[in-house]
Structure 1
Amino acid sequence: MPLIRILPHPEYCPQGTELQAEPGSSICEALLEHGIAIEHACDMSCACTTCHVIVREGFRSLNDMDENEEDLLDRAWGLEPDSRLSCQAFIAQQDLVVEIPKYSINHAKENH
């Protein structure tokens, strides 16, 4: 099973962690199954950007983005070339390194 290394995030995963995931599952599903409560306001239906992640390693092993995901990503906070909606990024056989951005469109804090 592929290994996903989650980089530290102050709220969801302060120390960072590593977890194993089933090929074919989404990054979002894998995070939730391992107790990392990433936001997913649309219930993983590709209708928001709250589950936005940046795939630091293994990006090319994921499924291709469809047009809907590409359009939604334009609204994501902290968009980078290797950004994906974790509910739409399906794990293959390659290990991944994933960063959860500090903020999401529903989770912006000032002076923190």
Structure 2
Amino acid sequence: MTTIKILPHAEYCPQGATLNVTPGTSICEALLENHINIEHACDMSCACTTCHVIVREGFKSLNEMEETEEDLLDRAWGLEPNSRLSCQAIVAQQDLVVEIPKYSINHAKENH
């Protein structure tokens, strides 16, 4: 199992969280399975940026980013060099520290 430490986020995870995740799971799936209801307006099909996260530790252990994800990330709010779309970032065996940005480009929240 891989540990993902989620940094506190006022809306989604006010206290922060520590998740135990099976390698091969996307960060988005791990969050949702643990009741951290991050936005994912495109239902994890790599068509939006609402599930954008910043990987503070363990970034290099994730799968390589594909061109579609790179192109979409250019539109994400608060983009940083270690940003990923959580629906595309697949957990390996190295522990991660993940931050959910304060905002997304979504103007209306989805009811997922």
Q: TM-score of the superposition, structure 2-length normalised?
A: 0.95
Gaps spanning 5+ residues in structure 2: where?
Answer: none
> Which residue is equivalent to 2:27?
27
Cα offset, 1:107, TM superposition? 4.8
The CA distance in 2 between the partners of 1:73 and 1:26, in whole Å, is: 16
RMSD between aligned alpha carbons?
Answer: 1.0
Cα offset, 1:91, TM superposition? 0.2
Identity %: 81
- Number of aligned residue pairs: 108
> Which residue is equivalent to 1:49?
49
Gaps spanning 5+ residues in structure 1: where?
Answer: none
> Which residue is equivalent to 2:94?
94
The CA distance in 2 between the partners of 1:106 and 1:67, in whole Å, is: 22
CA 1:107–1:22 in structure 2 vs 1: closer, same or farther (change >3 Å)? farther
> Which residue is equivalent to 2:14?
14
Equivalences for 1:73-112 in 2 at 5 Å? 73-107=73-107
> What letter is aligned with 2:103?
Y
1:31-67 CA distances to partner (integer Å, 9 max, x unpaired)?
Answer: 0000000000000000000000000000000000000
- 1:54 alignment partner, SS class: strand
> Which residue is equivalent to 1:60?
60
